[in-house]
Structure 1
Amino acid sequence: MTTTSSTGAWDEPPGLAARGTVILLTGRGETARTYQRFGRRIATDAYRVRVVETDLDDLVTTRKQVEALLADDDLPAPRVLAGSDTGASFASQLADLADGVVLAGLALPDSTPVTGWQSELDARSACPTHQRVLSEDADFTRGALARPVPSDWVVAPSTVPTLVLHGDKDPVTPLAAAFAPFSEARLRTVVGGHHDVLNDVSHRSVAATVVLFLESLKLGGDLPDIVV
């Protein structure tokens, strides 16, 4: 049965065999609730989703949580790391531990800080439903996009298949800066997308793009095309 959970665990529907696992790292200020819509949608396509809340003040514990999920024999392969904002940046540093990685709305040391609650909402997403989710989440940390990304973080390509998703209207990290470190990755521009492309107006199309990547990964690390 597909699980809807504020703790960040969603399973495949009854009667379907799980096709793999997505371990999602949250961005600044976000909670597992931030990704309920994304988690449900990916799980509907029979990929288990587990959310790890990235703690910038305790990345050692965050890494241990990710490693524990990657080593969990109850979670089917391929096991893919995904992340948004600083979760994407940290996922890129852990990518070689997984079978693949999905990086959405990368945050970099020179990304633009955002101040003011309405400005933060607008920077994150133009989707009114998602803006309401953030506004009603008592555990969400307002003002988190004003926090600088650690200056010693280096985002670099890994040896595993990589999908990079980024909005061309992202006010936090310019599109060119997000794509610059990656030459062999699948690069996908979300037209009109703001910073949190997993939860923006085009969230259905973005989720479909993630599923296409996962399906290609199941066929091989060279990501063979399925529909041509």
Structure 2
Amino acid sequence: MTITQALARIAGMGRIFLALFAMTANHTTLAQSCFNTLVTPSTPTSDFQIGSNGTATHLPTGLQWMRCSLGQTWTGTVCAGSAANQPSWASALLLVQAINQGQSDLDGDGSVGFAGHADWRLPNIKELSALNEACRRQPAVNDQVFPNAPTGIHWSSTTPHAQPSVVWYFDFGMGVVSFTNKNDALPRLIKLVRAGEAAGDYQAGQYLVFADGFEF
């Protein structure tokens, strides 16, 4: 083997090493979203169609989510700022109504609604808790689909049938579902969704896509 041939072989091996390193680095980057690598991701990024307009569509259900919680601003790559607290369920519903009627300019361009749609709503508890990512906590959601997601409690639209004074919520920090008084005046956040629900009062929620299995 000549020196030229030896150098060529070494160069080839170097290219192979770099390719393998790149593959490993890419795998590591993706894996960083899961804190427990022994748990299979329950909401893999491949289940979502990521839009450039700050939305993500969950392909198994057809539900379209805002990637940011209300109060944050979509920059094109991440959710900037802090999510806004809504101290009562009624105030959360009124804010959703204001967004759909163009009284709250989320896009920053004077348009009605968000991302070309004016039928956003509070998710029911099954829709909201389905965002729970089993392989991580703080936040307990896919941080590639929902970048810089806040870890606070998020309102759902679901009221238990036997207790109309309370409402179900999902804790984005620990991935816990529980309920609270509708007027507890404690910090609560909002993640909005659209589509996948039967026609009717958007403030009611709690039917169709994830409707069975809970007592309403």
- TM bucket, shorter chain: under 0.3
TM-score by length of 1: 0.27
| Highest RCO, 1 vs 2 (Cα 8 Å, sep ≥ 6) | 2
TM-score by length of 2: 0.28
| Structure 1 or 2: more helix by fraction | 1
Q: Which protein shows a greater Rg?
A: 2
